[in-house]
Structures are given as C-alpha cells and as structure tokens.
Amino acid sequence: MDQRPVGSLRVSEVGIGCNNFGARLDQAGTSAVVHAALDEGINFFDTADIYGDQASEVMLGVALGSRRDEALIATKFGMKYDRSGFCTTPDYVHEACDASLTRLGTDVIDLYQLHFPDESTPIADTIGAMQELVIAGKVREIGCSNLSEEQLRDAVAACGEGPRLVSIQSQYSLLARYPETDGVLDACDELGIGFLPFYPLANGLLTGKVRPGEPIPEGTRLSLMPADRQAHWLSDTLRGRVDALIAFADAEQLPMLDVAFSWLLSHPAVTSVIAGASNPAQVRANAHAVRPLSSAHLARLDELTREVAS
C-alpha cells in the first residue's frame, strides 16, 4: 500500500480507526483486525485514551505484540475519562501520555493528538506540554483533532520554533464536506498540515450496502444509532445523495467503497483515510479500495455532492 508523509512519519493511505476495540470487539476480534491490517500493508492505527472505556489502547498494544515495529500508533487525549468535559492543562497532558504509554505497552507514541479543544486552557500551554513530550522522547510527532481553522492556526503559531504540529483530524466524506467550506482544508494546504479524515463512509451510507428503496441492513452502525442521529443521516436529502452516488458508481462499474476512499485521497492534503473495521474481511476491502479517479469522475462527484458542502 502506498504511504504519505505526516511529519517524519510515513503512513498508509488507509488507516484503522480503533474505536471498535473494547466496544464491539473483544481481544480476539481486535487481534484479527490488527493482524489483517498489517498483512495488507496498513501501518496506521488511530485510537484514543477514552475508546472502549480505556480498553482500546490496551487491546491494540496486545494485538501488535511482537509486530509493534510494523505499526504507527496514533492516540488522543483531552476528553476526561468520564466524558464530563475536557482537560488539556500541562500536568494533565503529561499524565495522560504516561497512562497511554502504559496501556499501549510501548515506550513511544508515534502521533500524539489533542482530541478536542479545551477553552479553559490556553492552547499555547497545551502545545508546550506536547512539545515537551517530543523532546523527552515519549512522542514522535504531535497533531490535533476537531479544531476550527482559527484554532488550528493558533495551535500552529503556538509551536514557535519547537516541534511542529503535523496533522489534524476532522469529519470529511462525500456527504460531509465541511472542511472545504470551514477553511480547515485550505489551512492544511497553506501550512503543510496533514489532514486525516474520519467517518469517511458517512456512518455506513457510503459502503454500498445501503441501496435505493431498501431498508437499512440490521446490525449496521446506522441501524444501531440513536434516533436523533439517525434522523440526520437518514434524511431524505442525504438518502437522495446516496442514491445518486450509487447510480454513478454502478454506471462506472466502480465499487462505492472505492469511490468514497479514492475521492478523499484525491485531495493532496489528505494523508490517510481513517476507517473502522470489525473483521478482517472489512480490513481487506478497505485496503483495496484505493484507485485513481479521472478528472471527469471527480467533476461528476463534485456535482452530485456539492450542495452537501454548504
């Protein structure tokens, strides 16, 4: 699998989102997904200290085991374990990092990311603590997630002459094109920041399993969502967009999965598409879902989904 740079790291174009580990998957299931990913050349694993009630990091570390050197681990901090709010004070940053290192069973985190902004703590204080972790050798690169354009620029400026911020995660897909309109993607291009899209399949709407006129398959992420979230993702507007995208993919004889991933990777700022997986078959499908799209394909996809960006 091809790789793209995130700072000094070379990450696979498809990564594994680890929020299923410790939640939908036990250790055996987690290990099966991780090993399948490594076997397919996927080296990028994105987790967080809160995923799976703090079990995701543990399970990822166990699954990697002797294959740790084949992987790049990204994890996140900043949301309190009881999900009561955010904390990014310097002391908390250091404590959270040490706790993640212990859970992961490793001596270095490849990419350490601010999960959410904490308005009660100056971003310069948080960034300074993250830079200290790099200097101490506990972290190789630092990144962020869920920041606005202004917050991203403030975080980059706070780096000064020290270790720089190399990445940001935001939701981005053919059905959620917000980073194009909120300035984040443009800022990434300008500042040389790697963009890591999550929810690339729009909570399952872009897997190709949701067919026009058919009910949502049982057991899928969409079918298990709370009613208020379902109302958004299953709205007539988005279902109409999905139907049009499926018609396009069918006419061009392209798997919908390939369309979703390859469209994201057509943007030069995108470095790795973070996608969850609950079994090795899904991992293998994701790993083989990257292909060049023609300029005509890209133009048509933009036409079909442009209004979603507004």
* Active site residues per annotation: 51
Measured CA to CA in angstroms, residue 8 lies from 165, 189, 295 at distances of 11, 17, 31
Q: Please, is 2 exposed, middle or buried when counting C-beta atoms within 10 Å of its C-beta (0-12, 13-18, 19+)? A: exposed
Tokens 């080296």 correspond to 43
Under 8 Å between Cβ of 114 and 88:
yes
Q: In what order do the strands lie in the sheet with 109-114?
A: 194-198, 165-171, 139-145, 109-114, 72-77, 44-46, 14-17, 273-276
Tell me how many degrees the CA angle 124-101-142 measures, rounded to the nearest 5: 35
Under 8 Å between Cβ of 75 and 113:
yes
